[in-house]
Structure 1
């Protein structure tokens, strides 16, 4: 259980800072010189060519993008077509830990209206949003920081966190009462995108930033749960995925979802599939909104490598731990690369 009931310092809303017209960001948001986006290797992507049918990474000269996979024939009676999709998903999970999917079956209109509803919330007066302010006990509601370390460097973003499943975890007081269509649309969005035991939604709002080279919208991290389904902003890119020693900028395909492997699947697969570090950069001229739906295991079950994937040649790489124990680390410390899952690994 969480031991911290309150934030260690007064909360400042990043959107309010951005709207104030400041020309330089407060020191609390400035990364150490070596960790700034401008001082870490990255390269831009081109989306002029992508191969939906084959699930291959796209290339434009020396630029690459995460794989794009077409799910149109996922439930086809043609076994060859289904196996082709499974193979491409397997390859993407092994080689990237990230991929985009199109023809996934979720209504494009529902995707658009969900984003617009959340934009409408973040554009409400501050006193209205503050009615939904969260605490580190559950993180549910309107927030502006992850982790409770006093004096920590903060990210340039606000967010709204909601529990979907199991329903017993939902705090109905945090489900917005406005606009009138909100609860219907967001519930429908959750039902179309997920159907698992545990799921929660974090809506990220990244305000425009006068000094985007000094900070992150979200610091480098891997997701602690099982799998994440991200609805990105169709018009403003910001997500970057680590590939070796470089950061790949993900330019979203319209009406696609970005899928990524979380730490729990890395543990369950005995590191055949690996969660991958990712981060978010911010923009000097435009705000950005994204919806991240997290699939999580039941919180009180021990998560450990599947017995079928443990052999003499490849022994279990991780010690068992419940998801409740695991996510406590993130809630206390905030984003921290892959330090958490690597700390579980047995030492030779």
Structure 2
């Protein structure tokens, strides 16, 4: 881990760059022509959107209604790896309050935010880059990363003290979103033909899962066609529950060789599968490459909750899914070992999980 003790060069806050009055983005943020957002592709897929699933029937006394919802989740996982959920059980007022609290944090003076400046050893705190390779292209975003579970990693003193409501809101929001993640994990387990609690236990159990929040701040960009808010990647963990900025679209999902711009619904979560779920399911469920585009007129704030395995637990394909015709595709490793890749190199599409596949 010694290579992750410090950043390889001075960290520049993207928001500070914008506030300096620049009209052109620095070269470090300019993507190769083949990696830049394509207006043609966006237009061609403008009528598409990821599936939207109403979860209220999960709590119905009607077995048919419940099973229909479970089947819709399974179809979305296999076809897209992404879907939106409504009537999910997280209080809408809480969602609105925490997003505005974080928006207020990112508009605090730079010296206040710098008190929480992070390092690549844990990524916890206020950050502006992923990966420690020197001289690599950078993304047009700042963020704040914090741990909620396991409790041994939770340190509320590292959470923002300002605005004054932030720490309390993070605690309440985290509790409700983690409960939603647990419900989805049970559905995924059942749909994969596993025991209802299989995935939860494989990830460490209720108190030992790795639950962490990354709040993404995408400042306005003077040249949005040249850069990205986050480069293409698949999430390294289990599942992600994203509360997007419903006023400004930015997330794009790679689907059937097109980049589909997700249209966020009010008070909905965008759920996507991560690499660890692909490993445990032996690729019956797959993580999906996605990226974020930026905007010249509006800033964006989104909250990504990562529901991950505990870092030191070995993760491998479920034995129940292994047969002579379907051998294990991935080696056993811990999540700490796995995510070292992205923490070193930054976002690299699906290169990491695909590189692990065995010859068969």
TM-score (norm 2): 0.90
- Cα displacement (A) at 1:172: 3.1
The 5-angstrom pairing of residues 281-320 of structure 1 reads: 281-320=293-332
Tell me the equivalent position of 2:38. Answer: 38
SS in 2 for 1:342: helix
Tell me the equivalent position of 1:58. Answer: none
SS in 1 for 2:242: strand
| 1:43 and 1:247 in contact (8 A); partners too | no
Tell me the equivalent position of 1:263. Answer: 275
Say yes or no: does 1:192 pair with 2:192.
no
Say yes or no: does 1:346 pair with 2:358.
yes
Residues 243-262 of structure 1: CA deviation (Å, up to 9, x unaligned): 02110000101110000000
* 2: CA distance, partners of 1:290 / 1:225: 18
Residues 69-108 of structure 1: CA deviation (Å, up to 9, x unaligned): 0001112221111111110000000000000000001111
* 2: CA distance, partners of 1:292 / 1:337: 18
- Cα displacement (A) at 1:314: 1.3
- Cα displacement (A) at 1:199: 0.3
Tell me the equivalent position of 1:172. Answer: 156
The 5-angstrom pairing of residues 4-43 of structure 1 reads: 4-38=4-38, 41-43=41-43
Tell me the equivalent position of 1:147. Answer: 131
* 2: CA distance, partners of 1:25 / 1:330: 25
Residues 276-328 of structure 1: CA deviation (Å, up to 9, x unaligned): 00000000011000000000112112111111111111111111111010011
Runs of 4+ in 1 over 3 A off after TM superposition: 39-46
Q: Tell me which of 65, 88, 91 is aligned to 2:72.
A: 88
Q: Pick which of 128-137 and 168-177 moved more.
A: 168-177
| 1:261 and 1:275 in contact (8 A); partners too | yes
Q: Pick which of 295-304 and 203-212 moved more.
A: 295-304
1:131–1:115: structure 2 CA closer, same or farther, 3 Å change rule? Answer: same
1:113–1:273: structure 2 CA closer, same or farther, 3 Å change rule? Answer: same
Tell me the equivalent position of 1:113. Answer: 97
Q: Which has the higher helix share?
A: 2
Tell me the equivalent position of 1:64. Answer: 48
* 1: CA distance, partners of 2:156 / 2:3: 23
- Cα displacement (A) at 1:146: 0.3
- Cα displacement (A) at 1:176: 1.3
- Cα displacement (A) at 1:44: 6.3
* 1: CA distance, partners of 2:284 / 2:78: 7
Tell me the equivalent position of 1:241. Answer: 253
1:45–1:101: structure 2 CA closer, same or farther, 3 Å change rule? Answer: farther
Tell me the equivalent position of 1:330. Answer: 342
SS in 2 for 1:319: coil
| 1:144 and 1:159 in contact (8 A); partners too | yes
Q: Tell me which of 122, 127, 152 is aligned to 2:111.
A: 127
Say yes or no: does 1:214 pair with 2:226.
yes
| 1:43 and 1:249 in contact (8 A); partners too | no
1:3–1:38: structure 2 CA closer, same or farther, 3 Å change rule? Answer: same
Cα RMSD of the aligned pairs, angstroms, is 1.3
| 2:150 and 2:310 in contact (8 A); partners too | no
* 1: CA distance, partners of 2:328 / 2:152: 34
* 2: CA distance, partners of 1:336 / 1:43: 25
* 2: CA distance, partners of 1:65 / 1:38: 17
* 1: CA distance, partners of 2:262 / 2:331: 33
Q: Any unmatched runs of 5+ in structure 1? A: 47-62
SS in 2 for 1:242: strand
